[in-house]
Structure 1
Amino acid sequence: MGATRRVGRAFARRSATGPGSLDLVGSGKLDGALVDWAFYSDGHRDGRVGSYVDALKRARRGDGFVWIGLFEPTEQQLAMIGAEFGLHPLALEDATEAHQRPKLERYGDTLFAVLKTVRYVPHGTLTATSEVVESGEVMVFCGPGFVITVRHGDHGELAGLRQRLEREPKRLAAGPGGVLHAIADQVVDTYLEVADAVQADIDQIEIEIFSPRGWRNIERVYQLKREVLELKRAVAPLTGPMRALSTTEHPLIHEETRNYFRDVDDHLLRVKEQVVSFDELLSSILQAGLAQVQVSENEDMRRISAWVAIVAVPTMIAGIYGMNFDNMPELKWHYGYFICLAVMASACTVLYRLFKRNNWL
């Protein structure tokens, strides 16, 4: 209870505008961005709290915490939230603009985490333009007495997570740090699911690239490699923040919660190794496909050269007897035409069999 009171006093000190000075929910100032909000006490959603102002008052007293979920809020809406909870301007700027790198930053007693969400895009046949991995972002402001989640992208909804946590009061009883862990755990679990789906695509393209004329699928390999890089950009930078959350002491992260963060960190390392292996394997497949292109081009050149050599013999003979000189050998011979055709056919047949035996044709 003492720790809770300290958190409450810290929250009250941070709120320079005073308790309940901005009724953001009731005034409709968050319309279009607000997904859900609730006040949680002892791990339970407190339905007795009838207004947002009352929830803030109780959170500032250290009786629980407020969880506000936002979807693509405007700069003005985030500015109002920042004024209410004393959020750092740099963190608000990052939350306004999407396409941030996964990171964890500490501003006083508030943690600001950016996590990349990913989604596997189902497709019948992988093409050179198929979108395989779609990414979004979840920003989490985690402070004494409050959690604010800002989501960018059409996937990565947290409504289902909120409902699951409400069925597990023990996890919500861990406070804002417990919510941060639950979000990170869900994001990393999604990484594992997407990585398994991408593995199936890689297995398929690997079989196709080594089939006859498989080099024709080289554009699909390149496209899949780009999609794997999208997944890699979401997974790799997150290892540092997860390691910090699992090892660094912070008032919002209880020791038991750090143990759970270590489990998330372990899963993240596993999926990171898997994604790195995807990248290396696709690079090898791409090189193999390019080698097949070169081999195929060499084979085509040999075939062309062989046919040119075969056609050169009758062309030479026809060219000689097309010179129109009066005193050419056998020019008046009765069977000269037929013998000339026979020589051409014999020479072409010999050359054809020779090139065929040497696998040039």
Structure 2
Amino acid sequence: MRAVIVDCAIYRDGRRTEGPSDFSDALDEARATGDAFLWIGLHEPTEKEFDHVSAEFGLHPLAVEDALKAHQRPKLEVYDDSLFMVLKPVVYEPESDTVTADELMVFIGDSFVVTVRHGEGAPLHAVRVRLEAEPEVLKHGPTAVLYAISDAVVDHYIDVAAELQVDLAELETEVFSPSGGGGTRHSASRIYTFKRQVLEFRRAAGPLSAPVSRLASAGVPFVHEHSQPFFRDVSDHLTRVNEQVEGLDRLLSDVLSAHLAQMGVQQNDDLRKISAWAAMVAVPTMLAGIYGMNFDHMPELRWVWAYPAVVLLMAGAVYGLFRLFKRRGWL
């Protein structure tokens, strides 16, 4: 069981204290004092490993099922003995330009916080270290932990959105640069792949707006009544992130449309050039075909200057067509 427990500690008066090694005894101690709470962090527990925890903390079976199976949308659910929230931290890999969404489940009750992490993107260790350095914040109990986790996840959204903005600017430069190969199919593939990453980001950040807005309002059980301004701040940051993501998605659609239009224009230019050269080749071919039929009654076949005259006619016709196509921009 200890393999899945990342950390387990009792916090009293905003400070970490030593407690029993068994989390069941630690929870009893936290509840007995009345001014303390237990924070236990789990990483990808199995059903058997989590059964003991859920029984001790009285977690609702539906919330436990969601925490074990993962693959949940961000949401907030209130049960009789606990509050359950799902967040989706994102990880951005600049080398491969990929966005990966992990999952983080948070249970808070009267004297406990249980966090269940799936993946490697949840910033819980940094949150715990930051909170332990701010005892005035930790004095607010489990609500402070829920706020700090939400704030850290949303702040990381802002960083990822900024990285995607930079990558989009580079992609626009590649597509619209005269020497950047804007008319290549590789650019279309990059735009589509980038759009998939933005969609993954949008699935993580978009649905979180409703839970955070609910936490910023009054009357949510297990949430400290004076915490609303802090959750409103998180909600404001999340709104800004969602606006950035929507802007990225719209810009990508515009870039893709412009790129396809570029491809169409380039193909038309290529087709006009091919048609122009085909027309210039057709004139001498036609003349050569006429004089290659070897009819007896073709008086010019016996003229002395017939051959150079026909050659000059071919050259003149081709030169005239070349000047015409050049003036009209086909060549």
One fold, TM greater than 0.5? yes
Indicate whether 1:252 and 2:222 are aligned.
Answer: yes
1:215 deviation in Å?
Answer: 3.0
Deviation track 1:1-32 (CA, whole Å, cap 9, x = no partner) reads xxxxxxxxxxxxxxxxxxxxxxxxxxxxx243
| Alpha-carbon separation, structure 2, partners of 1:233 and 1:53 | 36
Q: Which residue does 1:299 correspond to in 2? A: 269
| Alpha-carbon separation, structure 2, partners of 1:53 and 1:95 | 20
Indicate whether 1:35 and 2:35 are aligned.
Answer: no
TM-score by length of 2: 0.94
Amino acid at match of 2:62: L
What stretches of structure 2 of length at least 5 have no aligned partner? none
Q: Which residue does 2:74 correspond to in 1? A: 102
> Is this contact kept in 2: 1:42–1:169, CA < 8 A?
yes
SS of the residue corresponding to residue 71 of structure 2 reads coil
> Is this contact kept in 1: 2:24–2:56, CA < 8 A?
no
| Alpha-carbon separation, structure 1, partners of 2:314 and 2:323 | 14
1:145 deviation in Å?
Answer: 1.1
SS of the residue corresponding to residue 59 of structure 2 reads coil
Higher mean C-alpha displacement, 174-183 vs 320-329: 320-329
Indicate whether 1:214 and 2:167 are aligned.
Answer: no
Q: Which residue does 1:359 correspond to in 2? A: 329
Q: Which residue does 1:66 correspond to in 2? A: 38
TM-score by length of 1: 0.87
| Alpha-carbon separation, structure 1, partners of 2:8 and 2:236 | 31
> Is this contact kept in 2: 1:175–1:252, CA < 8 A?
no
| Alpha-carbon separation, structure 1, partners of 2:207 and 2:94 | 26
**CA RMSD, aligned part only?**
1.5
What stretches of structure 1 of length at least 5 have no aligned partner? 1-29, 124-129
How many positions carry a matched residue from both structures? 326
Q: Which residue does 1:86 correspond to in 2? A: 58
Higher mean C-alpha displacement, 97-106 vs 190-199: 97-106
| Alpha-carbon separation, structure 2, partners of 1:308 and 1:247 | 73
Amino acid at match of 2:289: G
| Alpha-carbon separation, structure 2, partners of 1:203 and 1:210 | 11
Deviation track 1:140-168 (CA, whole Å, cap 9, x = no partner) reads 01111111111111222311211111111
Q: Which residue does 1:173 correspond to in 2? A: 139
> Is this contact kept in 2: 1:246–1:262, CA < 8 A?
yes
1:50 deviation in Å?
Answer: 5.1
Matches within 5 A, 1:212-291: 212=178, 213-216=181-184, 217-291=187-261
| Alpha-carbon separation, structure 2, partners of 1:187 and 1:43 | 22
Q: Which residue does 1:321 correspond to in 2? A: 291
> Is this contact kept in 1: 2:83–2:221, CA < 8 A?
no
| Alpha-carbon separation, structure 1, partners of 2:19 and 2:193 | 53
Indicate whether 1:151 and 2:121 are aligned.
Answer: no
Deviation track 1:199-221 (CA, whole Å, cap 9, x = no partner) reads 00111111222222413212211
Amino acid at match of 1:43: G
Deviation track 1:39-71 (CA, whole Å, cap 9, x = no partner) reads 111111112545434312112323411111111
1:118 deviation in Å?
Answer: 0.8
